[in-house]
Structure 1
Amino acid sequence: MRRGNAPSNCGRRAAGFSLNRTAGRSIHDAWKELLQEAGVRDARLHDARHKAATMLLVLGVPTRAGMEVMGWSQMAMNTRYQHLAPDLAKDIANQVAGLLWKTN
């Protein structure tokens, strides 16, 4: 069942896990249980998706590889889920400046 703007591949199986249901439980319940068992702070699964996509960007993972990891077929998903952190933008600007105004 699709909700809102959820991608059509939401229910596909990845690494043996259903993205909609896990052993009859909702993905929401399974996610909350996983967080509790791991002893980490509560967080929304949707936020984790944004964070994972952004971490792939920060790590310099090639776009097509990141899309495969995240299960995306549309380039627009990169724009939606990856967020360029100010520190990363500054580092990029400094690298470009170093190339343009390189001193001998």
Structure 2
Amino acid sequence: MSDIPLRDQIEDVLRTVEDPEIPVNIFELGLVYKIQMMAADSVHIYMTLTAPACPVAGEILMEVENKVKAIEGINEVEVRLTFDPPWTKDMMSDEARLELGWL
């Protein structure tokens, strides 16, 4: 088992999931609203998409679930999609804005 706390491992994994329309990971884009540890081996992830009609929404959600579930010590992952509040560019990290030249 890793010495890195599970929440940090989850955040690290989420940084490997990219939005295909904007070449930045979903964590830095601000698409992940909440990571909620439930039981010792269960996590709920509340997230959004850059647009409600995102054509690859299912793929992004599945990738999040599969990658988080692959972390040792996590057995159950529930990804909850929400559009409240709607995503805006203001939710992006400074790192993401800098990477995209939006600063």
Same fold (TM over 0.5): no
Larger Rg: 1
TM value normalised by structure 2? 0.33
Higher share in helix:
1
TM value normalised by structure 1? 0.33
Which of structures 1 and 2 has the larger relative contact order (alpha carbons within 8 angstroms, sep 6+)? Answer: 2
Higher share in strand:
2
